[in-house]
Each structure stands twice: as structure tokens, then as C-alpha cells.
Amino acid sequence: MASNSHDTLAFRLAQILVKLNQGEKLDPQTLAEEFGVNLRTIQRDLNVRFAYLPLVKSGSLYSLDPAFLGQLSIKDIERFAQLAGVRGLFPSLSDDFLRDIFDSRLQSALVVKGHHYEDVSGKEELFRQLEWAIVKRKLISFDYQKADGEKHYSGIEPYKVINQKGIWYLACRDSGKLKTFGLTKIVSISISDDCFSPESSVTEALITEDGVWLSDDKKEVVLKVSKDVAVYFKRRKLVANQVIEKELEDGGLIISTSVGHSNQILPIVRYWIPHLTIISPEGLQDEMEAELKQYLCA
């Protein structure tokens, strides 16, 4: 789904939720005319995207159960619309799980950054356990499936469950260090009775950070973008935490970023070869080129 269509969808859903929250009885045909979509689209909004809501249908009119009227804040409505608009993120999860997501406390456990998704079939219970641990600020332990076998982690402070470009991650602190773990590789999770005190700076960083390469020790990377592709980097941020530092006379760009790990930037540079060059830190461009030569000669 294109970004503008996703934004339009979120706006429509938010407006419908406002109407429902105010006690209006909604006629699907009237809504279709108001938002410039066909009747089937509105019916899908009400019957599928809002399946988690306690809607009452009287004839052709839809309304919110009176017991729930006025209980949704504007922030809640925005969150609901965003999540309902990306319902595909939860294809294997039940509507009960969606209802849990919309609890204001559980909502704080999730960060969604993208609208494609990986298959998370069979991970429903893991989601619930992580949500509960995050909300209750409980330390957790788990085994993690690595390429060379399983590794045990204990005393982990869970902060957020993040969806980054369709892949689910647990963002946490391990012995004071920020880390991310792929959810589908987490097994045998256990929740401790011991609690931890989340740091607001970490929570804010998780929400604002581009990507999932987390680190307390970030380094600046400066790149030169050729004139041939500069327009794409000016149109939107193609590099995590991208800042345009200078526009060159030939139409190229100098951009900078701060990354927690070189793997956060190297795949992007390789993708844009020969139009992207690493200026600093010194040696990183040579390191990347050496790796490419080794790969080509293998």
C-alpha cells in the first residue's frame, strides 16, 4: 500500500471513529459519499477493520455500544486508526489480541514502523508474554536461536516490541546495553518476579530511532551522494537518521547519519554503488570495497 493511500485510510478510519465515539449512527452509503470511496470499502471498514469494536447494527446503521461512548481520546483514535489501517500486520492473530493492543497500557509496548509483515504464526503467546512483561516492567529470560546454536539470555529488560519494515523485534537492555532480538528466534521465554525501572531516554530513543540497530555508542558517518541519485535522497530519508549537510555545485549531496553499527549503513551504500561513497569515518569505504572484492573473487 502506498504511503499516501495508507495516510488516506488512516484519516478515514480516524474520522469514522470520532463519529462513533460521539454517538453518531452511521450509514455506510453516506460515509462512502463523504470520503469518496465505494460502499464496499466502507463496509469493509466497519465489518473487518473495526471488528474489534463493540459496534451495534440497527437496520443499515452502525453505532458504538452506549457503554463505550466518549471513552476514546483523540490519541486513542489516532492509534486505533493507524493499527486498524495496518491490520495485515496481525494476519495470524485473533481479534482478542487486537483488543489487547488497543488497551492504552499495552499500546505503549508496541511500535509499528512499516506496513509489510513477516509470518508470526504460532507466536501469539509470545506477543502476550512480552506485552505483559513490558507493561509490568518485569525482567525476562529466554533462549535465542543463533546460526551456531541457541544462546541463553537472562536478566533482560524488555522495552518495546517493534515492527521495522515488516520484521518483529524485541528492543531491550542486556546488562545495560541496548539490543534487539528477532521475535521469531526467541524461544522458552520466562518472566521473572523481579522488576526494573525503565529509563525515559531509552523509550524515547526507541520511538524516534530509524531502524533497529540500537547502541549507546553511536558514530557519525558522512556520505557523498552523486548528482544522478541526489533527488531520491532529497525526496525522503533513504539512510537511517539522514541529515543533508550540503548541496554540491554539481548537484550532488553531502549527507550524514549516526549509526549504532556499521551494518546499519553498509548495505545501503552497497545497494547504491557507485552513487554513494563513504567519506568518514576514514577506512570504512576501503573496508567495504575489500569485502566486495573478496566476495567477487570467492
pTM beyond 0.85: the answer is no
Specify whether the CB–CB gap between 159 and 172 falls below 8 A: yes
Sorted by sequence, the CB contacts under 8 Å of residue 208 that are 6+ apart come out as none
- For 106-143, b/e burial (b = at least 16 CB within 10 A) is bbbbbbbbebebeebeebeebbebbbbbbeeebbbebb
- The cell numbers describing 247, all together, are 548541496
- Which of 2.170.190.11, 1.10.10.10, 3.90.580.10, 1.10.540.10 is the CATH number of 3-85? 1.10.10.10
Specify whether the CB–CB gap between 131 and 161 falls below 8 A: yes
Fold of the 219-297 domain? Alpha-Beta Plaits (3.30.70)
The angle that helices 74-85 and 3-21 make with each other, rounded to 10 degrees, is 130
- Give ranges for CATH 1.10.10.10 in the chain: 3-85
CA atoms 198, 108, 167, 285: torsion sign: negative
Q: pLDDT tens digits for the chain (298 residues)?
A: 444 444 567 678 778 887 888 788 999 999 999 888 999 999 988 887 777 677 888 899 999 877 666 666 656 655 665 555 544 544 444 555 545 545 555 556 666 555 455 666 678 788 889 988 998 999 999 999 988 889 999 999 999 888 766 678 898 999 888 888 988 899 999 999 999 998 887 777 676 665 555 555 678 899 999 999 999 899 887 887 789 999 999 999 999 988 777 777 888 888 899 999 999 998 889 888 888 888 777 6
Closest to 162 measured CA to CA, from 95, 98, 200, 208: 208
- Give ranges for CATH 2.30.30 in the chain: 110-208
Residue 139 belongs to what H/E stretch? strand 138-146
The angle that helices 3-21 and 28-35 make with each other, rounded to 10 degrees, is 140
* Chain CA centroid to CA 151, Å: 26
- Which of 1.20.120, 3.40.1440, 1.10.3470, 2.30.30 is the CATH number of 110-208? 2.30.30
- Give ranges for CATH 3.30.70 in the chain: 219-297
d(CA 194, CA 198): 13
